[in-house]
Structure 1
Amino acid sequence: MPTGVHIRDVREQLFDAADRVLLRGGPSALTSRAVTDEAGCAKGVLHRHFADFDAFLADFVLDRVNRMDSQAAALRESAGTGTVADNLADALTAVFGSVAVAVVALLAFRDELRARLRRTWPAGVPVLTEAATMIASYLTAERDLGRIATDADVDTLAPTLIGAGHMLFADRTGTPPEAAAVRRMVTTVLAGVVRGPQ
């Protein structure tokens, strides 16, 4: 792209480009050159908006975490409708069908990025921690409605579902798991706590 051409929403354009590079090539493919080439802009554009590439990646990860807010709200609103297993299977498929699995690999791949994120995100893996919070909030709402047992430990069930979901979706190069496999995993994890039809 010629110098001097204004790019609208440059951060979003760069973040979307990073999504595509990360999903296509994995963390080793994610370089500043790959992102700017994918975004169709000069490499200097990224460095005008971010101190360095790890600063860009940290903002990218946090932006992807913040995008989960609308998904979390929709999941909470689904409490009391459909089945608990279907609601959770759909939510987990949405989380892991997005860039989340690739972000986890990115965090494992880049030491400096992890260190930088620790300054603002002291524990856990940002995308997975936020997803676990989303699931726990939903399970709490279902517990309040009496659709899961009153003694259900939502703070253990939520990360268990995230961990098991991550294992199902971890191979980003393979075929995603079938919906029935995701639902079976959810039903197994929640066995004994769901009240009514599953």
Structure 2
Amino acid sequence: MKLLHLDASALGSHSVSRGLTAAIVAQLTGNAAGTDVIYHDLVANPLPHWTPVADANDPATVLGSQMLEEFLAADVVVVGAPMYNFSIPSQLKAWIDRITVAGKSFHYTANGPEGLAKGKRVIIASSRGGVYSEGSAAAPMDFQETYLRVLFGFLGVTDIEFVRAEGVAISEDNKAESLKTAHAAIGVVTRKAA
């Protein structure tokens, strides 16, 4: 199995999403001996934002092609995606812009766009200071999980799962309970892969 692991939180050791992705990857690799893991810390090593470059030898173009090939080759993609200002970190968006390439990860047809990244599984560790899940008063402000679900669906991924820790900034008790729930969800999600 080829596993691509991405972290996008700027909080380092204080990051909830980083802790969750580490737990997810540990469970998945423990369940599948011989897993090939590629890891990118998109904050420590940020990708340049996409710009049109004609030179195939440009370092940003080469790096973007590497990100795309790693994504397409992965069987499982684990993404640490904290909510920043109702959406995702710009570092994660820079990666998304490198993997969303017409003719490579999707194409247009007479019947509309078709994703070309089928057959992979995406597990997203979502962390949020407040409560934005469906049914909450703040749900209309969720441009994080809804965006990621639509984006990966557009690329052809149908197996998308979220492990969510939300309300982590409300109180220490709320954070502890949310993390307990998230870690229980990790057990369910990773057993599915076994």
TM-score clears 0.5: no
From the two aligned structures, give the one with the greater strand fraction: 2
* Structure 2 length-normalised TM: 0.31
Q: Answer 1 or 2: which has greater helix percent.
A: 1
TM-score normalised by L of structure 1: 0.30
